[in-house]
A and B are shown apart, each in its own frame.
Chain A
């Protein structure tokens, strides 16, 4: 256990700067949220509009993937520094996830 966390007192200028930076980050998060809502709306309207299955399914899967990437990289801060090991854990899991789905589906379709 680390015993000596340094206490650093910011100067007023530094403090104002970092507060402003955080506010800006928060505005970006709200933009991200807006994009996510928009993607969800497109998915639901595409299905409600009754387009061809072969068009809808790839499109809504792509929109879901984009939304999850936004959620992971912005809401869950993976775009920030110090997340290399996190990315390693997550991408290993995603590879396993695809293997599972491929395996189960091929068992059913070709079994």
Chain B
């Protein structure tokens, strides 16, 4: 089929991401990948829970003294809001409103950068306290878990920015609709993982 075919809001299909065979394959393949990501993060969570607060004798770092909830709360709200803004972007994609979608994706990207900035600030703060990656089993498992999530944020931001730039002048087609759809799924998945991070690492860390 002709990927460059132009649609109008009247002719744009209900599920543009799943009209072509390529789109269907992307959709299924991407969810299979998200299953794999779930397993990856499960192993990191399991490692963190097993090594939490474990380290050399006399270690002065523990979850209940290290973590600060206000910062985590702001990060949580930013990431949760960015999840809603990408829902808005997909709403505009369904309505064949390209400019609307690009605008909401741009807001999503800005919120993503705000989240990332706060995470870098947080890690930098810990390192200055002496809580470095190699300081203890606890610090290694903490930075690996939260850092892998941060890496996903970086990848998600790069992905969405590249999509926006590459398709800026193209408008919608059945070729790029599945690409936008999977990118938004990825961004939601980042928020899914963060829900467990703020609960298991930070909140359960503060209560001890």
What class of interface size applies to chain B in its complex with A? 35 or more
CA of A82 to CA of B49 in the docked complex: distance in angstroms? 36
Q: Is the CB of A5 within 8 A of B174?
A: yes
Q: Is the CB of A64 within 8 A of B196?
A: yes
B58 within 8 A of A: no
The 8 closest A-B pairs by CB, nearest first: A97-B42, A104-B46, A93-B35, A93-B38, A64-B199, A89-B35, A86-B31, A100-B46
Residues of B bordering A, CB below 8 Å: 1, 5, 7, 9-11, 13-14, 18-22, 28, 31-32, 34-36, 38-39, 41-43, 45-47, 49-51, 69, 73, 76-77, 80, 83-84, 87-88, 91, 94-95, 174, 185, 188-189, 191-192, 195-196, 198-200, 203-204, 206-208
Tally of chain A residues near chain B (CB < 8 A) = 56
For residues 3 through 33 of chain A, which have their beta carbon under 8 Å from a beta carbon of chain B?
Answer: 3-5, 7-10, 15, 18-19, 22, 25-26, 29-30, 33
Which residues of the partner chain B approach A30 to less than 8 Å between Cβ atoms?
A: 84
Beyond A8-B11, A76-B188, A97-B45, 10 additional contacts (C-beta under 8 Å) are A5-B19, A8-B13, A10-B10, A47-B207, A56-B203, A60-B199, A75-B84, A76-B189, A93-B38, A105-B46
Is chain B's interface secondary structure helix, strand, loop, or mixed overall?
helix
User: Could you list 10 A-B pairs, sorted by A, with CB under 8 Å?
Assistant: A7-B5, A10-B11, A15-B9, A19-B95, A47-B69, A47-B206, A61-B200, A96-B39, A97-B41, A101-B45
Is chain A's interface secondary structure helix, strand, loop, or mixed overall?
helix
Closest Cβ–Cβ distance, residue B72 to chain A (whole Å) = 8
Q: Is the CB of A100 within 8 A of B39?
A: yes
Q: Is the CB of B203 within 8 A of A47?
A: yes
